[in-house]
Amino acid sequence: MPEIYLHNSMTRRKERFAPLDPQHVRMYVCGPTVYDLAHLGNARPIVVFDVLSRLLRSLFPKLTYVRNITDVDDKINARAKESGEPISAITARTTADFHTDIAALNALPPDVEPRATGHIGEMIDIIQRLIAAGHAYAAEGHVLFAVGTDAHYGCLSGHSHEELLAGARVDVAPYKRDPGDFVLWKPSTDDLPGWDSPWGRGRPGWHIECSAMSWKYLGESFDIHGGGSDLIFPHHENELAQSVCAFPGSHFAKYWLHNGMLLVNGEKMSKSLGNFFTMREVLAKAPGEAIRLLLLRSHYRAVLDFSDAALAEAKKELDRFYRALERFPDLGDTAALPAPVRDALCDDLNTPLALSAMHGLADAALAGDFEAARGLHAAGAILGVLAMTPEAWFRGGATDDAAGIDSAIAERLAARKSRDFARADAIRAELLARGIVLEDGPGGTTWRRAG
């Protein structure tokens, strides 16, 4: 088995991946807070960790991949208040929208997708452990984690206590012993979601949710914790602190992986700048595979700049791959992953290098190499692209009007046979105006989407 090397955010270096149990790799990734449509930035970790999960499944006997849904949060409460829509309706609708959008990106579902509201008991259990061990305290209906009791607090983000306080948006409240202490549990009024607890009716803080769900499904210690780099502090720092303090002797996650920031046209995505896009909006511009490929053209830890021009380039890249596969309608059983692609992915998920290797395979396939085409298809499977047939890809992945197009092609053929070339040319022009390109060949006339 090839060795995998991953960049560990905790140690700030690339390390050989050695799972706690070589027979069973365990990975947790922070999922969405479901109060609105997912935006383009949400798509990047989904795709990055989907590729990692595919790679791990190809190399190890078993992977348990857990990605949560945060369905109790102040953002959700605020959205319900401003819209008048019930919280349950908001979370149900936006969760369904999220699943639809990431399916369009060819993201496979995780093995477990727990919802925060289904794990309140585990959260209360961890909080009680922290209080008993002197790492947390109750105050005015709140329970707070006492950061001063954790000598290693700040080790993930690499900042001192003072730097962490300066960089954090902390709610300085009179009931806090230290301004940096963070909330594990807070009281709920009658109009907010709440659960009975030893500290009164209330709801959990954000950080305790992920600690509880990872513990439930992966245990006190597991292999990989992933998410966007914006989560390192305070979310992941606080998860780590409360988890290791609740379970003495554990290390929580052995490897921490974080993807870099996504820019749009060179600037941070922001509604005020007019460059904020939901996944739904971008999917209206291009196929999901093209968006996915664009997200993989940069190394996952690098900043990625999204633009319409880059999206068009990604689509052209996929056009070339599909052209290479088009020559071989029957590729047979799934081929082994070509070594150059495998080695690139095993080197800290180097997807740009893997794509470069795929272009080499496409070159050979376009020259008639059947085995290269099989290898290209296998490489696409591990990266989550080339999932369509070439015919479906060039037809835009949609066949809802295929019967009408085929009927127009038949009418054009009849016009040509009757030497009514003006009508035949008019039909071609009508289809082109609809974005349909006709291609005449020895085997007859085929069509594809323009673009």
Sign of CA dihedral 208, 210, 214, 220: negative
Mean pLDDT of 57-64: 98
Separation between Cα atoms, residue 218 and residue 223, nearest integer Å: 9
Mean pLDDT of 34-54: 96
pLDDT on residue 433? 66
Tell me the per-residue pLDDT of 72-86, one tens digit each, with 9 for 90 and over: 999 999 999 999 999
Tell me the per-residue pLDDT of 407-425, one tens digit each, with 9 for 90 and over: 778 778 777 888 877 787 7
pLDDT on residue 173? 83
pLDDT on residue 164? 67
Rama region for 60: left / alpha / beta (φ>0; ψ in -120 to 50; rest): beta
Mean pLDDT of the chain: 92
Please give the C-alpha separations between residue 243 and each of 33, 159, 180, 236, 310, in angstroms, as whole numbers: 21, 19, 17, 10, 41
pLDDT on residue 421? 73
Q: At 101, which helix (H) or strand (E)?
A: helix 87-104
Other CB atoms within 10 Å distance of the CB of residue 16: 8
Tell me the per-residue pLDDT of 218-227, one tens digit each, with 9 for 90 and over: 999 999 999 9
Tell me the per-residue pLDDT of 124-177, one tens digit each, with 9 for 90 and over: 999 999 999 999 999 999 999 999 999 999 999 998 767 766 655 556 788 899
**0.95 exceeded by pTM:** no
Tell me the per-residue pLDDT of 282-335, one tens digit each, with 9 for 90 and over: 999 999 999 999 999 999 999 999 999 999 999 999 999 999 999 998 998 889
Write 396-405 long-range contacts (CB < 8 A, 24+). Answer: 396/287, 396/435, 396/448, 396/449, 396/451, 397/287, 405/431, 405/436, 405/447
Separation between Cα atoms, residue 174 and residue 379, nearest integer Å: 57
Contact between 145 and 238 under an 8 Å Cβ cutoff? The reply is yes
Confidence of residue 395 (pLDDT cuts 50, 70, 90): confident
Cβ within 8 Å of residue 407, ≥6 positions away: none
Separation between Cα atoms, residue 358 and residue 297, nearest integer Å: 12
Return the structure tokens found at 426.
């008019």
Is the per-residue pLDDT at 448 higher than 80? no
Length of the chain: 451
Contact between 55 and 345 under an 8 Å Cβ cutoff? The reply is yes
Residue 438: alpha-carbon gap to chain centroid: 36
